[in-house]
Amino acid sequence: MNPALPPASTSNRIAAVVFDMDGVLIDSHPVHRRAWIQFLRTIGREVPESELNFILDGHKRTDILRHFLGDLSPAELEDFGRRKDLFFQQSASEVAPIPGVPAFVADLAAQDIALAVATSASETRTLETLERLQLKKYFNAIVTAGDVRRGKPDPAIYRIACERLNVAPSRALAVEDAVAGIEAARAAGLGACIAVANHTHAEKMILAGASLVIRDFRQQSFAAIRAALARTRSASATQSLPPTPLRHPA
């Protein structure tokens, strides 16, 4: 992990980027969905496909368990969470970075942009995943589910990330893939939020407050991101962020 950062300057430029992990840095949603289905079946629960979207909306594992199983004791939450994670671990090797992530993150780090992860995943899975994919070295701060009492859309996780980076939230950019995450970043006062989404979910991300929506990070650059964000602040913004954007609001 990179060393602690000096206090940020008072300019208006973006000083930090805070990434969610699942669906943003790593393509883990198919493995997560399968693991939850397998776990729920072991306790006799069949969940409709439409309800499974709750799994992917940035919630903490404990919140997902309560959503599907109701009020659980701390011991049950721990036991069920461990059992679900075992199913995930069986397929963890299938998880790879979102296309373009390694080069994009390296580009940010090379420009001395402070980087953080703000994820609802556990600390163990987060650190193991980032280490395995050789991404951990780029991040100055990593905030996980155990660092907050409430998961997204509560803003605490983003506030903590900015505090650990010693950067004002208004000078930080969030990168998310879920409505709850975008709402958390906005409530924490981050300067802007980019959403990673496909065409099906693009409109939902924009309505939640995303400034830009991109499909992935292939051939993206920090300079292009900054330019596109500047365009969104003008009333006449109509251009897209090439080459893999979906759209952004005027």
Q: How many independent structural domains does the chain possess?
A: 2
- pTM score, whole prediction: 0.80
Kindly state whether residues 169 and 210 are assigned to the same domain. yes
Q: What is the CATH number of the domain that holds 51?
A: 1.10.150.240
Q: Tell whether 6 is covered by a domain.
A: no
Kindly state whether residues 113 and 225 are assigned to the same domain. yes
The segment with the largest mean pLDDT, out of 33-37, 86-90, 205-209, is 205-209
Kindly state whether residues 67 and 173 are assigned to the same domain. no
Q: Tell whether 113 is covered by a domain.
A: yes
pLDDT at residue 64 in the model: 84
Q: Does the structure show a pLDDT above 80 at 2?
A: no
Select from 41, 72, 94 the last residue of a domain. 94
Kindly state whether residues 103 and 73 are assigned to the same domain. no
pLDDT at residue 58 in the model: 66
End-to-end alpha-carbon separation of the chain, Å? 38
pLDDT at residue 62 in the model: 87
pLDDT at residue 195 in the model: 96
Kindly state whether residues 65 and 185 are assigned to the same domain. no
Question: What mean pLDDT is reported for the chain?
Answer: 85
Q: What is the CATH number of the domain that holds 232?
A: 3.40.50.1000
Closest by CA position to 3, among listed 88, 85, 112, 101: 112
Q: Tell whether 38 is covered by a domain.
A: yes
pLDDT at residue 176 in the model: 97
**33: Cα separation from own chain's centroid:** 16
Q: Does the structure show a pLDDT above 80 at 86?
A: yes
Select from 94, 116, 134 the last residue of a domain. 94
Q: How far apart are CA 152 and CA 184, in angstroms?
A: 6
Q: Tell whether 202 is covered by a domain.
A: yes
111-165: per-residue pLDDT in tens?
A: 999 999 999 988 998 999 999 999 999 999 999 999 999 999 999 999 999 999 9
Q: How far apart are CA 110 and CA 87, in angstroms?
A: 37
Domain, as residue range, for 83: 29-94
Select from 51, 79, 94 the last residue of a domain. 94
Residue 219 binned pLDDT confidence (cut-offs 50, 70, 90): confident
Kindly state whether residues 100 and 175 are assigned to the same domain. yes
pLDDT at residue 104 in the model: 97
Q: Averaged over 31-36, what is the pLDDT?
A: 84
